[in-house]
Structure 1
């Protein structure tokens, strides 16, 4: 049974400051990258270092960047890197990524589904399958609920 303590301490909390309408992102704490360098990516691909190119693209993803042109350019580079892999190499590449990199990769995969072309859809489905096998449903949920888009 509850005991009446006549305490009013809980009434001193300003619940209005926690309202969803007053919520603002902490943008000053984030570092916004300008995206990967096309020359660096093309250099790595030409040297048959696709895994290093993939890691470079994922490390320099323009997360939180509001400039759509920068995000589109990064998507183009990420798709170019993913399409440069042979299907048999995808499993090994995904194994070498950590969870955060896999989540960013999954973001690029979903963005790639938004702009399909002849070859990309089938290859992106293979990438999606391999990332899903390693990261599970959690990766998909994190990508779909994250406010920071690529």
Structure 2
């Protein structure tokens, strides 16, 4: 009796656009992305041991994995970013954010929202994510939020 609810009516609609038509998929191979994410994680640990938080943040935000089929690389990148966020003093955040490019600020906002979307917020406390969000919004403005929300390339 409820079988009609299982029909995908979008298959009959000519105006439905699949994700592949809305944005280009990441051209890199998933195994290559995972290897790059592991290399970035090692470089970031090295930068953090030297106290170079800005350099570590720049590495993790440059050329992030996106699109379907690369979840392992995405999760490793998010964990690496969470490590950076947790180890940074709140007084050091504004100068670090000002040194980032607009694209890096937008990518950071995407990761902040991804971290907030995790059930229980994963390994990071809510105050850390909200603190970074507040400071990023002060530096980059509300346009950063809009760009992060409307970009279809999900990190």
TM-score for both structures, normalised by structure 1: 0.76
Are the counterparts in 1 of residues 57 and 81 from structure 2 also a CA contact under 8 Å?
Answer: yes
Residue from 130, 135, 145 that aligns with 2:150: 145
Residues 1:22 and 1:127: Cα distance change in structure 2 (over 3 Å): closer
Other-structure match for 2:126: 121
Residue from 44, 48, 69 that aligns with 1:45: 48
TM-score for both structures, normalised by structure 2: 0.74
Give the paired residue count.
131
Larger Rg: 1
Are the counterparts in 1 of residues 106 and 147 from structure 2 also a CA contact under 8 Å?
Answer: yes
Other-structure match for 1:21: 16
User: How large is the Cα RMSD of the aligned pairs?
Assistant: 2.2
Other-structure match for 2:135: 130
Partner SS state of residue 16, structure 2: helix
Other-structure match for 1:4: none
Cα distance in 2 for residues equivalent to 1:50 and 1:65: 29
User: Structure 2: where are the runs of 5+ without partners?
Assistant: 1-13
Indicate the structure with greater helix content: 2
